[in-house]
Structure 1
Amino acid sequence: MRQAEEVTFGGSGLDRAAELRGDIPGLAALMQRPGARGVAFWRGKPLIADDAARGETCAGLLRLPLDHPLLGAARARPVLLGREDGEVVLAYDISAWEPDAPQEEGFVDPSVQVHPDAPAGARFVELRTLLMALTPRDAELAATAKAILGWHDTHGFCSRCGVASDVTQAGWQRVCRSCGGQHFPRTDPVVIMLITRGNACLLGRSPGWPEGMYSCLAGFIEPGETVEAAVRREVMEETGVEVGRVALLTSQPWPWPSSLMLGCSGEALSEEITIDPVEIEHAQWVSRERLADAFAGLEPGILPARRGSIANHLLRNWLADRLD
């Protein structure tokens, strides 16, 4: 796929400095340097600020000096994300803070939280709302931090014996203090597929999505299953459509909470749709013309997947005939 690495969170060439994770003295020395920086997260939301320095309305992931008082509210040791220009960048979780503005329920949380110690104009914002606002580097740092902080939040105990585990390797490992079990951040592979038949593609929607929103079908890969087999199984389970040839096109880290989306294309061998209501709410074949109108806002019955998602990326490249 010619546009394979243009997806949001698709990678910015970040130096992840893996050799520092077990080098406690070396990392400690780098954290003492004036150029060391920390990014703050509150319950999965990154601390961002408008990028006024570039005269643009986009947002930027805020990097704070490690002695900044806001980072002092972190409830655990920071996680090493990597290096930028030779200086370390770490993620701090300050989720114990209770703000005046609570989070809101829904597909996307539109609420904003402002910490009293944050720089002027800085606020915690739902990452889903920033998909097209962040630079590739900011997006990679934010996705990495959200995923690994979320893993620590839900994996504090050993899955072998149930005893509390300790954080090691600068946040990239947990070790059980009782049985010695070693645990590493998980990444769940998910297939997301653009299924086509002639001039149409197969789109579906799940309950709870915004009204009219349709996207590519998707599902988790099961143990012992290939990517191709997962595509065929998921499409059959959700819509009853049989799929033949499958191709892997691109991938996207998706930190809700810890997925790796494997973008695929597939050729449908059948057309009749029989949905599984437990899996999806509705599915339909959408022609290129209708999809183009939907992207232009001229098709009121279809709201395509939001920009920045791999589904949007696949659909736009299909319309532009750039999938191969």
Structure 2
Amino acid sequence: MSVGFTGAGLDRADHLRLDAARLAEFVGHAEARLLRLAELDPVLDGEGRLDWAPLNGSEELIFLGLEEGVPHFAPLIRTEAIGRRAWGVFRLLALMSPRDAAIWGAARALNEWHNRHRYCGICSAPAASFRAGWGRKCSGCGAEHFPRVDPVVIMLAEYEGRVLLARQHQYPEGRYSALAGFVEPGESIEEAVARELMEEAGVAVSNVRYVASQPWPFPGSLMIACVARAEADAIRLDTTELEDAMWVDLAGVEAALAGDPQAPFLAPPPFAIANTLLARWSAEQQRERD
């Protein structure tokens, strides 16, 4: 079962990112490809695939990697659009293949990081892209900075054959998803799962188990999907974080994943790991029944 924003299939060729001669060869390669972006959003061709253009020699570039020897680049875009809500681009993602989504996701996350780190966090001098777009170097103190991802736990609490789902205020009507939250300093994944479920829903859990992970380029997180066993099903909702929460049984989850209009909730989109988490939980429950 695939996970969204994974499976790009490019050789990132990390060992060549500081090789100026080889990078110059890549830029001059007759078949070098440049990912087209509209601000930070993907541009699709008539068949719903990522649109690529030849290099024109004027772009500041991020080297994405190689495919069968062909270099792939993304533009490094200066934009004020960082941190904006991504709901509009979700319609495009629904049309894209997992591979294309993974390639675009990396390009978007890197562009977000560059735009958020234009200045050195140590001495405040301007920093410039280096290492083929996979780092920034300070013009003042010479410090080198590298892209980071923020770990986020996303989890299902399960209790007597049901799972806990919730919705945020800005979700589309009817949508419910797994609860999620950032891992805090000095905290394990298991501790973060337990803390977030207690803080947002008042549900105590144990027996946290890892399921899968996913890069999430809004702006640059690593989603760590887990399932935990709840001790009881009483909900105490944090209304500053969530609009509603409910327990859903296997039949309700299966109906939602199948797109049944009579389902008790609208499922997360297929490219979101919450969808994968629900699908894997559903498959596990089916195996236990068989």
TM surpasses 0.5: yes
1:37-56 deviation digits (Å, cap 9, x = unpaired): 110223210121122xxxxx
1:13-60 deviation digits (Å, cap 9, x = unpaired): 320011121011111012111111110223210121122xxxxxxx11
In terms of fraction of residues, the more helix-rich structure is 2
Match of 1:90? 73
1:1-324 matches, cutoff 5 A? 3=1, 6-51=2-47, 59-67=48-56, 72=58, 74=59, 77-93=60-76, 108-109=87-88, 126=89, 128-295=90-257, 296-299=259-262, 301-321=264-284
**5+ residue gaps, structure 1:** 52-58, 110-125
CA pair 231-323 structure 1, distance change in 2 beyond 3 A: farther
Q: What secondary structure sits across from 2:157 in the alignment? A: strand
C-alpha contact 1:305 1:311 (8 A) present in aligned 2: yes
Q: 1:47 & 1:84 partners in 2: Cα distance?
A: 20
Q: What secondary structure sits across from 2:36 in the alignment? A: strand
Q: What letter is aligned with 2:283? A: A
Q: What letter is aligned with 1:304? A: A
1:235-256 deviation digits (Å, cap 9, x = unpaired): 0000000011011111111000
Q: What letter is aligned with 1:15? A: D
Q: What letter is aligned with 2:268? A: A
C-alpha contact 2:208 2:227 (8 A) present in aligned 1: yes
Tell me the C-alpha RMSD between the 2 structures. 2.2
Q: 2:41 & 2:175 partners in 1: Cα distance?
A: 24
Q: 2:107 & 2:41 partners in 1: Cα distance?
A: 10
Matched pairs, number: 284
1:97-144 deviation digits (Å, cap 9, x = unpaired): 9xxxx9xx97622xxxxxxxxxxxxxxxx2x22334323332221011
Q: 2:8 & 2:85 partners in 1: Cα distance?
A: 30
Identical aligned residues as a percent: 39
* TM-score, normalised by the number of residues in structure 1: 0.82
**5+ residue gaps, structure 2:** none
C-alpha contact 1:14 1:137 (8 A) present in aligned 2: no
C-alpha contact 2:155 2:225 (8 A) present in aligned 1: yes
